[in-house]
Every structure is written in structure tokens, then in C-alpha cells.
């Protein structure tokens, strides 16, 4: 639908989801098929990180990478890694708000997709799916900011 002549584009901050996709996924079962013949209760380790890059002016990609490792003693039962990504159009926000959007809002949007990807890969590998608990990215963001504030005290320079 074309805008009416003389109409202007909406003013103010913009935050939209352009695309959500699996950027990379892998699963390893190094001790198959023997591991399937044993009754085991593996210990689960979850690692997560995110990376953001500007794709073009106003467009940002956030990649949330989750690695789930299941071990029985010293043996790896399986290792699953999924890099779930999203492209977001973000503009019109001051820098502190941009950091919070990238650290809280974007990963919150992507996490349910990553959780589904991980569960699906584990299930397709022949194991019962692991349903990852919801994560408060707001709490993680605030914790990270508090650690950064302690690690690097603010130094003011007079001009």
C-alpha cells in the first residue's frame, strides 16, 4: 500500500523483527551406539552466549548460541549446539537504550526459538528432549552491568 502524497514516514524510535533463523546447528554422539544400550542419568551442562553485529545502518544481527552437553561420568552422551539468530531493525534510541535492547529484548525474542531448536535436535538424536527453563535476560543484563561497573570504575576527565 503506497503512502499518500505528502505523507511522511512515522517518526520516533523503531524496533522490529526482520528475520529469525538458525545460523548453525550441530549434534555429536561420540559414544553411539553403545550409549543407547545403557541405562544412564546424564548430567547436563548448559552454556550460552550472544554476539551482536551491525549489518547495515539500523539493522542488527543478534546470534544466541546455546551449547548443551550431557555427560555420564567422563563420557559424553551428546553435545548439541545451536546458533539461533535474528535480524532486528532498531533506530531512534539513545545509546544506553540500544545496549539494553541488544542485551535484553533481542535475546528474549530469540530464546524460545533456540530452545525449540535444541529440543528438536536432541529428540532427533534419539534422546528425550530437554526443555530449557525460561531465562531472565533482564537479570543477566543487570548482573553483567554490575560486574562491569566493579571491574572498571568510572574515571572522569575534566576538559
- Work out the burial of residue 91: count CB atoms within 10 Å of its CB; fewer than 13 is exposed, 13-18 middle, 19 or more buried: middle
- Dmax of the chain from CA atoms? 71
Q: Tell me the whole-structure pTM to 2 decimals.
A: 0.82
* 25-29, 100-104, 132-136, 150-154: the lowest-pLDDT one: 150-154
pLDDT in tens, 82-130: 999 999 999 999 988 999 999 999 999 999 999 999 999 999 999 987 8
Calculated CA dihedral for residues 14, 144, 63, 71, nearest 10 degrees: -150
Domains observed in the chain: 14-142 (3.10.420.10)
Q: With pLDDT > 90 as the criterion, what percentage of the chain qualifies?
A: 71
pLDDT in tens, 137-146: 999 889 888 8
SS (H, E, C) the chain: CCCCCCCCCCCCCEEEEEEEEEEEEEEECCCCCHHHHCCCCCEEEEEEEEEEEEEECCEEEEEEEEEEEEEECCEEEEEEEEEEEEEEEEECCCHHHHHHHHHHHHHHHHHHHHHHHHHHHHHHCCCCCCCCCCCCHHHHHHHHHHHHHHHCCCCCCCC
State the cell numbers at 85: 539468530
Which residue bears the cell 547495515?
56
Q: Are 45 and 71 in contact (CB under 8 A)?
A: yes
C-alpha neighbours within 13 Å on the C-beta side of residue 114:
31
Amino acid at each position: 500500500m503506497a503512502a499518500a502524497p505528502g505523507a511522511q514516514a512515522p517518526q520516533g524510535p523503531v524496533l522490529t523483527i526482520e528475520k529469525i533463523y538458525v545460523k548453525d546447528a550441530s549434534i555429536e554422539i561420540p559414544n553411539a551406539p553403545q550409549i543407547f544400550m545403557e541405562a544412564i542419568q546424564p548430567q547436563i551442562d548448559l552454556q550460552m552466549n550472544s554476539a551482536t553485529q551491525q549489518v547495515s545502518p539500523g539493522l542488527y544481527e543478534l546470534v544466541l548460541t546455546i551449547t548443551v552437553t550431557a555427560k555420564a561420568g567422563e563420557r559424553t552422551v551428546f553435545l548439541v549446539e545451536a546458533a539461533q539468530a535474528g535480524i532486528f531493525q532498531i533506530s531512534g534510541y539513545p545509546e544506553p537504550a540500544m545496549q539494553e535492547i541488544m542485551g535484553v529484548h533481542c535475546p528474549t525474542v530469540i530464546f524460545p526459538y533456540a530452545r525449540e531448536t535444541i529440543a528438536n535436535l536432541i529428540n532427533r538424536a534419539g534422546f528425550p528432549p530437554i526443555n530449557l527453563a525460561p531465562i531472565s535476560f533482564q537479570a543477566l543484563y543487570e548482573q553483567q552491568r554490575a560486574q562491569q561497573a566493579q571491574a572498571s570504575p568510572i574515571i572522569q576527565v575534566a576538559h
